[in-house]
């Protein structure tokens, strides 16, 4: 198989190609919404704390409902979950566009819709990950998940700039840009609606209560050393490094005396590094060394944040920004691919929901990080984050060695490979 074929292996499946188109539209809506809602919140309040409040409005319900969302991903028809969540998000932004256009918008409305969207995404995230794995063969699962990151980062490069330009056009403005978000989410719902029907994986026993299913998922993870290690390293990274992105505007403005042009360049530099890393992740996601590569990506992410905090000039900060984006997305891409590959099919939604708890938590952690930046300086705060990241990653690595996570992962991959070989052999048998 050529390098190009390895990188785009999952695209050989027509249903996955359709899903990828839906993902691209979905992520386009996400990035436009990120820009327009943050812009509107600051215009209404002129408060950085208000921006942190929006992250809290989204992060807290996602934290509270993620385990329930994972249970739904393993219980309900997955196409239906995708379509319904996109429709709810579309309705939410249509309502926000309406109150902006008629000029009755208030900050609490943004906060309230953030809560609704946090609940919705708690079901969307694990379902989307489980669907990626369900549509392709087991030997393409890692590649399918990593290609989802390519879609995410393609949108990340282009759409924030597009959103900023639309807001600046008087005839479009904030209301029109929010209406675009609603239309994009509705379009994603229509694309997802064309996917084949997808029941949850695996044979299901008698229907049990939702709490029982959640508890079963948590017990399953505790029995799997490789998954425990994946979760430990995820917590190490998200609790120390992930909040950096929300503070890039402060770095550009306070440290380098930059304006919107320098901020745009820095955002693009991070996005370019992220996109390049997502292609690399797609190529190596199925490789036996992916677990070790994820560790190096985590260390690279932390080291890049240290370099970014210490950068003496804007040019060096730009280069560090490329490395930041590459380290961040290399880790996320390999992390999601590995967690999906290491999970039994019938538990994939619940495993992803446990991982999403860590990603929800970083929105909450952003608030004390912001307070620390106001007290001690943004450069100093980012430096401490990077150094803490190096320490917590090392602790997670020691934990992984103690529970023999690498051996557990190899056993899981070998078992999957034997099952695939057996299945292929049975398919090749000609009935007499």
Number of neighbours of residue 427 by Cβ within 10 angstroms: 7
pLDDT (tens digit, 9 = 90+) per residue, 213-257? Answer: 888 888 999 999 999 999 999 989 988 888 787 677 778 777 888
Distance CA 151, CA 28 (A): 9
Residue 426, pLDDT score: 46
Considering only CA atoms, give the Rg of the chain: 21
Taking the CA atoms of residue 66, residue 84, residue 211 and residue 206 in that order, the dihedral angle to the nearest 10 degrees is: -140
Angle at 406 between CA 402 and CA 412, to 5 degrees: 130
Cβ–Cβ < 8 Å for 366, 246 = yes
User: 335 or 302: which carries more pLDDT confidence?
Assistant: 302
Q: The whole model's pTM is what?
A: 0.78
Where does the pLDDT of residue 203 fall: very low under 50, low under 70, confident under 90, or very high at 90 and above?
A: very low
* DSSP line for 230-255: HHHHHHHHHTTTGGGGGGHHHIIIII
Cβ–Cβ < 8 Å for 149, 278 = yes
Per-domain residue ranges of the chain: 9-196+208-428
Angle at 57 between CA 56 and CA 58, to 5 degrees: 90
User: How far, CA to CA in Å, does 47 sit from each of 182, 209, 248, 364, 369?
Assistant: 26, 44, 16, 17, 16
Distance CA 211, CA 209 (A): 5
Where does the pLDDT of residue 398 fall: very low under 50, low under 70, confident under 90, or very high at 90 and above?
A: very high
Class of domain 9-196+208-428: mainly alpha
Distance CA 310, CA 312 (A): 6
pLDDT (tens digit, 9 = 90+) per residue, 5-22? Answer: 677 888 999 999 999 999
User: 387 or 235: which carries more pLDDT confidence?
Assistant: 387
Q: Is the dihedral of CA 236, 248, 315, 30 positive or negative?
A: positive
């Amino acid at each position: 198989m050529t390098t190009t074929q390895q990188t785009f292996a999952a695209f050989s499946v027509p249903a996955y190609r359709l899903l990828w188109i839906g993902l691209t539209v979905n992520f386009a809506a996400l990035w436009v919404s990120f820009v327009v809602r943050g812009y509107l919140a600051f215009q209404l309040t002129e408060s950085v704390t208000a921006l942190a409040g929006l992250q809290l409005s989204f992060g807290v319900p996602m934290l509270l409902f993620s385990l329930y969302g994972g249970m739904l991903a393993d219980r309900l028809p997955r196409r239906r979950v995708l379509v319904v969540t996109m429709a709810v998000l579309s309705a939410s932004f249509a309502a926000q566009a309406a109150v902006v256009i008629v000029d009755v918008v208030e900050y609490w409305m943004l906060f309230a819709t953030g809560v609704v969207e946090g609940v919705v995404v708690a079901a969307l995230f694990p379902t989307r990950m489980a669907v990626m794995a369900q549509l392709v063969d087991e030997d393409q699962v890692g590649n399918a998940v990593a290609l989802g990151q390519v879609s995410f980062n393609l949108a990340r490069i282009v759409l924030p700039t597009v959103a900023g330009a639309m807001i600046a056009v008087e005839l479009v403005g904030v209301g029109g840009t929010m209406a675009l978000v609603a239309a994009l989410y509705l379009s994603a719902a229509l694309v997802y609606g064309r996917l084949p029907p997808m029941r949850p994986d695996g044979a299901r026993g008698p229907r049990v209560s939702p709490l029982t299913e959640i508890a079963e998922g948590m017990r399953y993870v505790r029995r799997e050393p490789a998954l425990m290690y994946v979760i430990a390293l995820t917590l190490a990274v998200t609790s120390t490094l992930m909040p950096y992105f929300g503070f890039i505007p402060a770095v550009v403005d306070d440290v380098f005396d930059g304006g919107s042009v320098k901020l745009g360049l820095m955002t693009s530099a991070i996005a370019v590094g992220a996109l390049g890393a997502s292609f690399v992740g797609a190529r190596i996601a199925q490789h036996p060394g992916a677990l070790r590569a994820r560790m190096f990506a985590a260390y690279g992410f932390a080291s890049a944040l240290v370099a970014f905090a210490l950068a003496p000039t804007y040019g060096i900060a730009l280069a560090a920004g490329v490395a930041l984006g590459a380290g961040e997305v290399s880790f996320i891409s390999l992390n999601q691919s590995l967690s999906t590959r290491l999970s039994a099919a019938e538990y994939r939604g619940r495993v992803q929901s446990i991982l999403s708890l860590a990603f929800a938590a970083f929105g909450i952690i952003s608030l004390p990080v912001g307070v620390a930046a106001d007290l001690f300086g943004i450069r100093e705060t980012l430096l401490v984050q990077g150094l803490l990241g190096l320490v917590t990653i090392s602790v997670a690595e020691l934990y992984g060695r103690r529970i023999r996570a690498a051996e557990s992962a190899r056993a899981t991959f070998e078992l999957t490979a034997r099952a695939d070989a057996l299945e292929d052999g049975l398919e090749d048998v000609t009935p007499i």
